Structure 1
């Protein structure tokens, strides 16, 4: 087997450390061709679709891509911003602010990079760039709080496949999940309470997680259990009684049974049962994206109102909220224990000032959006 060429090495140089924030991915543009390329890469992953490859090749290339790409492109166009895909913009801001937060905690010589599992910037390209820059330690931080083989497991596959080509592999650490991390739960709590302080409380809070086929649960995937634990911990923080919230699963695909209850039918039934207002939050997504901004905030809103509901509130993802950036920094820091990342006090003061500047820039960008 031929390995990729190693970058030049200078004796005596100090290798750096890196945190790679990895999100699912997004098309490069809200066009049929761009969406088709993205969907082909995404849906070709055997972690995502566990159907015999030959059968799935015909379904994907002869049915799904020709007919679904245009419809999906129109959906992406409905949420696209001047800066591009909301998921990409939000993840970029998170990476920028995470670097500043780590600096304020005293971690120097730590690069924070953003990568996508599907689309660009691709995870292999980002890992190659970090190696060229001399990073000898890499921590992989998935944007998925709950582990699933379809998401976090797929990231592992991509990382291992890349380093299979590398002769001198850096030290690797992986964040497997943080579904019950106190900082993550508290960030969700703060987001919900801030919304309720501004808009009042709903008849029912809906915690909508991304769906996966029920078969994955039966085969041992822990995703369903981790979603329920997140919901329990969050409800406890909010002091909610069981009848005040409901856990649902969205984004079904195909005819197989997926995790239930399904989000859209649930909110329709809530409206028919007399709920005037529901609030929906998607704890499994740390950045707003097509599945939150279009599927929930548009489609599910329409379903609720059409069924007789009067008021629908979508509570945004954590995005670049200060509580979430602080939680991400704590999660990353816990996985860098033992790495030589701490710096002297003068450097810490300089990075703190740079962090304040970065936050101000991010807030300005958010206001412009």
Structure 2
């Protein structure tokens, strides 16, 4: 039988005490708590070649992300991809990097989101609920954060991947990593995972409010709102049964109904295509050009699949996709930021968390 690593209990925690009726030599243990562990995709530690290579190697080696046989994919990844892509991706990250904090915008925003969630829950539950965050790829790792929560006395953990829509390459792989982290613990906490919240009314309301605010501040009303979601290979949907495409379409429909718009004012597209095979369509980068060529010179783009602005929104949408629109003759390009740490978004996330904490607090 393999040797399991012991759970690391923080006996020096301020609230650590000996259990009632315990023997005199029993070590102190922290007060029991419920942990809420928020998870996002991840970020490189820096923009240099080796930081980017480490991050991309971990990300693109995930079978949930690239499901080609290892013997087929790894030689390509370790050879061509990781020789060229780190420099290119590093330059893209550098264009949006938070220089003051020396971190990516995704890291900065995730910290702000978790701080806001923590403050809200603390008012209601005091120190009985502990809130923290982890990244699926890079740092802080899921394993390290689960270990810390257990050490601080969390006997129950709610794991919350911050993806409104479910996909195997996002929610499932985050859950996989959480479950692997639990396998390391000798004193394993009870656990729950949060289901996708793409049709949660408070989330839809927050999205609608952000769009209404952006439109109210625009000099000219955009002719169409393009809801750009991160793409996936079509095969994942058609063969693997991944519900992501359907949930994205429903998000757009619910948003349209909440705004009171008709079908001509909003549409769904997909971005970030990688590799040679067909991905979910229409492709955002092609659709914005088509809109311009068709005479629609003013458009808006939002990204409902992203809970926080990141490389795919700040660089890909607001730079590459915008450039495609303008090169095709487009004139007014309005990017509507992700919900980030907007109060309505935090309210929606806290609502989802509290529903999933039912019976625990």
TM-score bin (small chain): over 0.9
Taking structure 2 as the reference length, what is the TM-score of the superposition? 0.92
CA–CA distance in structure 2, aligned partners of residues 117 and 233 of structure 1: 29
Paired position in structure 1 for 2:205? 186
Deviation at 1:337, TM superposition (A): 0.5
CA–CA distance in structure 2, aligned partners of residues 20 and 278 of structure 1: 37
Deviation at 1:17, TM superposition (A): 0.7
CA–CA distance in structure 1, aligned partners of residues 190 and 6 of structure 2: 18
Higher relative contact order (CA 8 A, sep 6+): 1
Question: Which residue, 306, 309, 325 being the options, matches 2:346?
Answer: 325
The answer to whether structure 1 residue 23 and structure 2 residue 40 are counterparts is yes
Paired position in structure 2 for 1:273? 294
CA–CA distance in structure 2, aligned partners of residues 108 and 329 of structure 1: 16
Contact 2:41 2:136 in 1 (8 A): yes
Deviation at 1:163, TM superposition (A): 1.5
Contact 1:2 1:165 in 2 (8 A): no
Paired position in structure 2 for 1:249? 270
Contact 2:7 2:147 in 1 (8 A): no
Deviation at 1:108, TM superposition (A): 4.3
- 1:92-171 to structure 2, matched below 5 A, reads 92-106=111-125, 108-171=127-190
CA–CA distance in structure 2, aligned partners of residues 7 and 202 of structure 1: 55
- 1:327-346 to structure 2, matched below 5 A, reads 327-340=348-361
Deviation at 1:104, TM superposition (A): 3.5
Paired position in structure 1 for 2:226? 206
Paired position in structure 1 for 2:26? none
CA–CA distance in structure 2, aligned partners of residues 330 and 102 of structure 1: 10
The answer to whether structure 1 residue 215 and structure 2 residue 235 are counterparts is yes
Question: Which residue, 45, 49, 55 being the options, matches 2:62?
Answer: 45
Deviation at 1:186, TM superposition (A): 0.6
Q: Secondary structure at the match of 1:151?
A: helix
Paired position in structure 2 for 1:343? none
Deviation at 1:201, TM superposition (A): 2.2
Gaps in structure 2 of 5+ consecutive residues: 12-17, 21-29
CA–CA distance in structure 1, aligned partners of residues 129 and 287 of structure 2: 45
Contact 2:163 2:171 in 1 (8 A): yes
CA–CA distance in structure 2, aligned partners of residues 48 and 148 of structure 1: 10
Taking structure 1 as the reference length, what is the TM-score of the superposition? 0.90
Q: Would you say how many aligned residue pairs link Structure 1 and Structure 2?
A: 340
Q: Secondary structure at the match of 2:3?
A: coil
Q: Secondary structure at the match of 1:209?
A: strand
CA–CA distance in structure 1, aligned partners of residues 223 and 140 of structure 2: 41
Deviation at 1:106, TM superposition (A): 4.4
Paired position in structure 2 for 1:5? 6
Q: Secondary structure at the match of 1:264?
A: helix
Contact 2:229 2:270 in 1 (8 A): yes
Q: Secondary structure at the match of 1:18?
A: strand
Question: Which residue, 94, 99, 112 being the options, matches 1:77?
Answer: 94
